[in-house]
Amino acid sequence: MATTGTPTKLTQKTQGGIGESTLRPDGTLKVTGEFAYSSDMWHEDMLWGQILRSTVAHAEIVSIDTSEALAQAGVYAVLTYDDLPTEVKNYGLEIQDTPVLAHGVVRHHGEPVALVAADHPETARRAAAKIKVEYKELPVVTDEASATAPDAPLLHPGRDDHHAGHVPHPNIVHRQPIVRGDADEAAKRADVIVTGEYTFGMQDQAFLGPESGLAVPAEDGGVDLYVATQWLHSDLRQIAPVLGLPEDKIRMTLSGVGGAFGGREDLSMQIHACLLALRTGKPVKIVYNRFESFFGHVHRHPAKLWYEHGATRDGRITHMKCRIVLDGGAYASASPAVVGNASSLSVGPYVIDDVDIEAIALYTNNPPCGAMRGFGAVQACFAYEAQMDKLAKALDMDPVELRQLNAMEQGTLLPTGQPVDSPAPVAELLRRVKARPLPPERQWESTEGADVRALPGGLSNTTHGEGVVRGVGYAVGIKNVGFSEGFDDYSTAKVRMEVIAGEPVATVHTAMAEVGQGGVTVHAQIARTELGVSQVTISPADTQVGSAGSTSASRQTYVTGGAVKNSCELVREKVLEIGRRKFGSYHPAWATAELLLEDGKVVTDGGEVLADLVDLLEDEAVEIEAEWRHRPTEAFDLRTGQGNGHVQYSFAAHRAVVEVDTELGLVKVIELACAQDVGKALNPLSVIGQIQGGTTQGLGVAVMEEIIVDPKTAKVRNPSFTDYLIPTILDTPTIPVDVLELADDNAPYGLRGIGEAPTLSSTPAVLAAIRNATGLELDRTPVRPEHLTGT
């Protein structure tokens, strides 16, 4: 096949099992430009797909006229809803409410309406522009008030999904109350009570590689799809019914993924490319540009959060009440699970026995929101940590001391009644970030004057020190690891061991989406540790092997790593069986001793070499494909929120040091120190990379990142990298990281999922530092210059 950019096997010849900072097997390809991302795919004779999207947020589609577009030279197909091949015309992660192409109505700005395939992207763009869509605009639903008003237009009339029965209004996707103890009664014991209303802006994942992929029609009537995603099998499950093909006729291969952060958990161009490829009989490539990418994936839920905390004079928290309203936008996506996280983690890493909690997600005409790193826990952490500072102030206590006094420990009950059954070093993490020496004051000052690059405003030369005030702030957070609430969260790994060119080689094949996190590095390390080989080949991820679940929820090293470990153990057993069969009679240890595979040999636990794997295996290959799952969880009770919903937790704490130009409202973060418990660092270099990256995304939503939606029209006002700003290297401080390794005995190697926790506490730490510098209350994030200057 003349497809270029097809993923290749990654082989790495290095020593190094778990615990070592082995280097990425895809590193060389990535630094030479040879690594094939989904947008790099190319096929002879391929066409370019283009999506026509709605220009309004809520409207009836009166008519669509594609004739002029079809008449363009170089156009091969123009598809609308009427061209969908089966009765299945919607998809969705949990609720199938998202139309493949709009039918009769559009519910958000940028919703896909029609598709074009043409021989050049410009031809496709021009043709799409010639499709005439007549809209009759409808009133927009943009917030809780407009969504639940008596005459509110229903976004999805006639809902029959499994949440429809228990929500108080059809424009509420899901509602999760959690009641434990008696918050009203406990409030009577409080000496101080603090309340707050907080706003969390809409954050975009802003992964650098926009959505893209290539669909190649196959001779058997099926399709080969190369795509960047977070979960191949979830995509497949949603694509197949729409195309009317059995799943085995859609062969999906993971292409290089340019970051994900939750934004690739939902489908984007997958079905569209397949539809165009099957219609035209030609390979079709779709690549979003940055503008389209802002419409092409879900965002982090913006949220309104009401909190009340009480405490006794000595700083013991008496109770907490909160109400969290998440804006899910036009389609459900992951909203129900985000509600589950936001509610069950709304207390934070604290001991509070009496709580009254409610979280809901709305259907509105705003952009659909779903998964993003931190997933519901991020919004809650921003609010409860602001409350902690407020409470400390009201008590005239040190904010870190207050947190430590109320910090959760192993054995603490969550508001869901579930005990935390692994180490929870919350107080220790805070102690560590606090104990770190503060960075020197006025680092921008030198004998030659002020270096503006180190000052708020940076190269823009706005201050030489005038108005600059330093502030320090702390925050800590808790994130669940893995899929919760009774989801059957498993991964599959196929491991093969054989002798190639006189050397034992392990091959690991999973469907895990490597999105940059370094899962491929860790899989090779696990195989080396378990199988005692130095050479491990990581096969490209595809749907020829069982599901590996999603690269999200900080779960891949835990669950797919666990599956690789498990399959390696099964392979090892088989290898030892072969050894016993072949060599058992030569040495009694084959029957009596604990046997290990090390350095290509079978050795006893005493270190005695029994056989060389090369001699043992000869031309025999051992291969096992097996599923592995973490301990089961259960759903939260819909009325009380009680239930053992989570399997593991991840904790991180931050100390932010900022300098604020108080007159202009500009912020420079000087240092953002993090301490995190990772259970066991399988690859310390990658662990630190994850923590620093997550920390920086938290910094972004503290001071600059926000998708701004016009409240009157529900249209996105800043879908570009010119106006949706993410931190540059000049906005990012030094990020010293302190890694704790307290094993979770329930997890493989004692490890903890690590990817998300640093994103939680980074934002409130920065906000706390800005409050400390300015004395302002600051109840929203991101904080903009006008908020700091009262303008």
Partner 1 sequence: MDFLRPASWEEALAAKAEHPTAVPIAGGTDVMVEINFDHRRPEYLLDLNRVGELTEWEVGGESVRLGASVPYTAIMENLRAELPGLALASHTVASPQIRNRGGVGGNLGTASPAGDAHPALLAAGAEVEAESVRGSRMIPIDEFYTGVKRNALAPDELIRAVHIKKADGPQQYSKVGTRNAMVIAVCAFGLALHPQTRTVRTGIGSAAPTPVRAKAAEEFLSAALEEGGFWESGKIITPSIAKQFAELASGGCNPIDDVRGTAKYRRHAVGIMARRTLGWTWEQYRGTARTLEGVA
Partner 2 sequence: MRVNFTVNGRRQEADDVWEGESLLYVLRERLGLPGSKNACEQGECGSCTVRLDGVPVCSCLVAAGQVEGREVVTVEGLADYAKQREQSACGTGACGTSLQDAQQWSAKGSDSHTGEGTELSPIQQAFIDAGAVQCGFCTPGLLVAADEMLERTPSPSDEDIREALSGNLCRCTGYEKILDAVRLAAARQGNQEATV
23 vs 742, beta carbon nearer partner 2: 23
14 or 789: CB nearest partner 1: 789
* Contact yes or no for 471/775 (Cβ under 8 A): no
Peptide bond into 782 cis (omega under 30): yes
Per CB under 8 A, the list member of 19, 684, 689, 785 interacting with partner 1 is 785
Residues 444-463 that bind partner 2 (CB under 8 A): 451, 453-454, 459
- Site for partner 2 (CB under 8 A): which residue of 213, 258, 748, 764? 258
- Two tokens, residue 222: 């099926």
Angle at 43 between CA 37 and CA 47, to 5 degrees: 100
Q: Which residues pair with 661 in a beta bridge?
A: 468, 666
Return the number of the residue (127 or 339) whose C-beta is nearest partner 2: 127
Q: Tell me if 664 contacts partner 1 by CB under 8 A.
A: yes
Distance, CA of 537 to CA of 101 (rounded, Å): 40
User: Under the criterion CB under 8 A, does residue 261 sit at the interface with partner 2?
Assistant: yes
Q: Which does 26 bind (CB under 5 to 8 A by kind): partner 1, partner 2, none?
A: partner 2
Q: How many residues bind partner 2 (CB under 8 A)?
A: 72
Alpha helices (runs of H) in 584-620, residue ranges in sequence order: 589-592, 613-617
| Region binding partner 2 by CB under 8 A among candidate stretches 232-240, 428-436, 512-520, 589-597 | 512-520
What is the rounded CA–CA span in Å between residue 478 and residue 650? 6
What's the rounded Cα separation, in Å, for the pair 458 and 454?
A: 6
Per the listing, tokens 């996190």 go with: 517
> Is residue 449 a contact point for partner 1 (CB under 8 A)?
yes
Give me the least distance between CB of 456 and partner 1, in Å please.
8
- Determine if 459 is a binding residue for partner 1 (CB under 8 A): yes
Residue 467 interacts, among partner 2, partner 1, none and using kind-specific CB cut-offs from 5 to 8 Å, with partner 1
Cα 473 to Cα 389, 671, 673, 764, distances in angstroms: 9, 11, 11, 8
Instruction: Extract the tokens encoding 272.
Output: 């569209």
Q: Is 204 exposed, middle or buried (0-12, 13-18, 19+ CB in 10 A)?
A: buried
Q: Which is nearer to partner 2, 13 or 136 (CB)?
A: 13
Count CB-CB contacts under 10 A for residue 639.
11
Contact status, residue 755 vs residue 557, Cβ threshold 8 Å: no
Nearest residue (CB) to partner 2, 339 versus 726: 726
Q: Which is nearer to partner 2, 8 or 67 (CB)?
A: 8
> How many Å apart are CA 740 and CA 316, to the nearest integer?
27
* CA dist., res. 59 & res. 132, Å (int): 15
Q: What is the DSSP string of 355-419?
A: EEEEEEEE--SSPPEE--TTTTHHHHHHHHHHHHHHHHHHHT--HHHHHHHTB--TTPBPTTS-B
User: Which residue's structure tokens are 């003349």?
Assistant: 2
Point out which span in 91-99, 673-681, 701-709, 745-753 binds partner 1 (CB under 8 A).
701-709
Instruction: Give bridge partners of residue 174 from the DSSP assignment.
Output: 361
* Ranges within 215-234 binding partner 2 (CB under 8 A): none
| Three-class DSSP category at 676 | strand
Helix axes 684-703, 757-774, angle to 10 degrees: 40
Which CB atom, from 520 or from 576, has the smaller least distance to partner 2? 520
- Residue number, 327 or 706, with CB nearest to partner 1: 706
Which among 383-391, 491-499, 618-626, 719-727 is the span making contact with partner 1, rule CB under 8 A? Answer: 719-727
Q: Is 461 in the site for partner 1 (CB under 8 A)?
A: yes
Report the residue from 2, 62, 129, 208 that binds partner 2 according to the rule CB under 8 A: 208
For partner 2, the binding residue among 2, 11, 411, 621 (CB under 8 A) is 11
Binding string to partner 2 for residues 685 to 704, with x set by CB under 8 A, is what?
xx-xx--xxxxxx-------
Specify whether the CB–CB gap between 537 and 500 falls below 8 A: no
Assess 12 for contact with partner 2 (CB under 8 A).
Answer: yes
User: Residue 108 has what DSSP assignment?
Assistant: S
**Which residue lies nearer to partner 2 by CB, 471 or 518?**
518
Q: Is there binding between residue 208 and partner 1 (CB under 8 A)?
A: no
Among 13, 132, 162, 717, binds partner 2 (CB under 8 A): 13
CB of 282 to partner 1, least distance (A): 24
For partner 1, which residue of 718, 736, 738, 743 counts as binding (CB under 8 A)? Answer: 718
Under the binding rule (CB under 8 A), the answer on residue 2 touching partner 2 is: no
**Whole-angstrom Cα distance, residue 493 to residue 711?**
47
Smallest distance, Å, CB 123 to partner 1?
13
Q: Which of 655, 624, 651, 789 is nearest to 734 (CA)?
A: 655
Pick the closest to residue 627 from 572, 574, 560 (CA basis).
560
Residue 760 interacts with partner 2 (CB under 8 A)?
no
Least distance from C-beta 27 to partner 2, angstroms?
4
- Distance in Å, CB of 791 to partner 1, minimum: 4
What residues make contact with partner 1 under the rule CB under 8 A? Answer: 125, 129, 289, 291, 446-453, 456-464, 466-467, 663-666, 668, 703-704, 708, 717-718, 720, 722-723, 725, 727-731, 784-786, 789, 791
